[in-house]
Chain A
């Protein structure tokens, strides 16, 4: 299916590909400066709000003794969920040799790194005593799901970074070979060092290929563990709404929905912003749309299990919780997450038109927002209905409503994640050049031949 190109053709084609895919490195217009300014400003405001929170205590948030986990934990779960897309696209689809997904594997890794990094930060921001974070390592209690979570998140972050870095090495070598003098000296120096003197010879490629395969296999259990363990933070308690055995797979399925929707957003931005229409082409969007339908169907199946089974029985405590979700105060959010986040994407994306880039991106955005609220609806309503009545406390203990500093810190996480994504896109090609070129029938020999001894 891949036609071998003549050396002449191949060289020309490679030049074009390289030019297109390094455009993100070169774009330095007003818009990108403004974007960077916005991101950095919001990040500074967020860090300032965090400082304020450390000084005053977590009391500046809307959380209190009953609803003691709020937006931060919802956000944490959301980011952990989004990060799982790295597992699906750059590992599982690779191992299954699903070739259309190959150009988006770097996007998936970017998203995974940004999300899992932020997840780690959010959890520190949620701590009452972030100054004692090291206690987790000094006094860690191995029976606590939090210790498991810290362990797997750290591991997943390291694997994601490696999975990002390893396929990047040949690209860095290409940039080292082709960009001398065209980019700032310091940037060139970084590429030079990071490329590890890659020359595209068989021995070097074998090492990269072999390491990649190893990591792709390793990330499967670790990736599943990160979200399963995160679900256990809830499922390990006795509370109605959390006390269920399907939380592990339920969270994993939900994570694929959130992650797929997030990757579609990033793809679309890159496609428009970096003029990559031919790379993030309609076919990839179409297939991502179908993927979204598939993961939504799986997640819908788990949702039906999660709500229909206890809803059929309506045990006392579960009944209060479910009534609250179905018809009570949380009903608008609940039905938005179910319909906007699951039913609509499934129905709409079955139609070919809606799988075109723009409509798909819009639908995926709704799904992504619903995914965030889905986490919120998992965390908060359960805490609002403990087993024993909430009494003798002020009104704001009874119901949770996030405060401004809390929302600021939550927004910070999004802007910080976008900042990481932007930085990665500005520094490194958003598609693996050598891999893409190889699929276009360009041999490695041609890519690196200038320096072949």
Chain B
């Protein structure tokens, strides 16, 4: 126990001490020379970005925006010199092992994903400036209608070229359902050669009690962000007002009948007898008055 406390205090002091900043995080020798096995290309950077957004952004912030959380020691921005001064292997070590407020990602992320995240971080390395030629994002459009008695969503997707629009064939459309606090990916469907697809709404889909759901359709990362909403799809009958059960923990209006009956029967019974005795005392009083000598 004592040992734990001492170690704990050491950790805490380490966290407080500015000398023990990001630069002063010792990394074992063998990591310094490690190479990133993941190729530095657009696809991997994009994959890395998704991993970064999900696992790192909450503390480190948006790269280049310097909006990291004010923790001690401060989590460096991904684009900062402190971050970029690390070698790939050093980053890998730190992400894997963690320290203080920095999680140990070896338990939650695979090494491929960690390397992809590093690849994404490296995109903000000034030395990598201009190395990646961003492919121009394609422009797409989605239209959709609810069809076949609310059991499908019929989708048409097309690509906007400079002069005309052509059907988007063999493209994945992501279907998300709008939930209270975010959108839930419920499925995806690939368009046919005419750019059409018919998404079958899952029959066991769970929705709000009104039975309605808003769908949001989108294209993949090759396209400029484009979404199409299909709102208020009635996928279920609205829940009719079911009579609520009578339960012990509820308020008086929904408490059990037997309980009310027992309570009031006992109450009325007892007080009727008391009332009867009080009546007798009154009788006694009347008698006494009549008996006055």
Contacts and interface: CB of A to CB of B under 8 A. Distances in A.
A and B touch in the complex (CB under 8 A): yes
Interface of A: 140-143, 148, 151, 155, 158-159, 162, 165-166, 169, 195-199, 201, 203-204, 207-208, 210-211, 214-215, 218, 221-222, 225, 451, 453
Interface residues of B, number: 30
B291 A222 contact: no
A245 B69 CA distance: 54
B260 A214 contact: no
A208 B270 contact: no
A107 B132 CA distance: 100
Contact of B288 (A142, A162, A204, A214): A204
B293 to A, nearest CB: 6
B251 A141 contact: yes
Contacts of B252: 140-143
A143 B285 contact: no
B137 interface: no
A225 B269 CA distance: 14
Nearest to B272: A218
Given A158-B274, A197-B285, A211-B277, A151 B267 contact: yes
B284 A214 contact: no
B255 interface: yes
Contacts of B284: 169, 196, 198, 204, 207-208
A211 B271 CA distance: 14
A453 B287 CA distance: 14
A143 B280 CA distance: 34
A218 B287 contact: no
Given A158-B274, A208-B284, A453-B293, 6 more contacts: A140-B252, A162-B278, A204-B287, A207-B284, A215-B277, A221-B270
23 contacts: A142-B255, A142-B259, A142-B260, A143-B250, A143-B259, A151-B263, A155-B271, A155-B274, A158-B274, A162-B274, A166-B281, A196-B284, A196-B288, A197-B285, A197-B292, A199-B291, A207-B280, A208-B284, A211-B277, A222-B270, A451-B293, A453-B291, A453-B293
Given A143-B248, A451-B293, A198 B277 contact: no
A203 B270 CA distance: 25
A218 B255 contact: no
Nearest to A199: B291
Nearest to A163: B277
Contacts of A204: 284, 287-288, 291
Contacts of A211: 277, 280-281
B263 A197 contact: no
Given A142-B260, A148-B263, A196 B274 contact: no
A162 B288 CA distance: 18
B292 A214 contact: no
A197 B291 contact: yes
A214 B277 contact: yes
Given A141-B252, A196-B281, A159 B274 contact: yes
B276 interface: yes
B283 interface: yes
A214 B281 CA distance: 13
A208 B292 CA distance: 18
Nearest to A158: B274
B273 interface: yes
Which of B270, B281, B285, B293 has most chain A Cβ within 10 Å? Answer: B270
A423 B256 CA distance: 45
Contacts of A197: 285, 287-289, 291-292
A142 B259 CA distance: 8
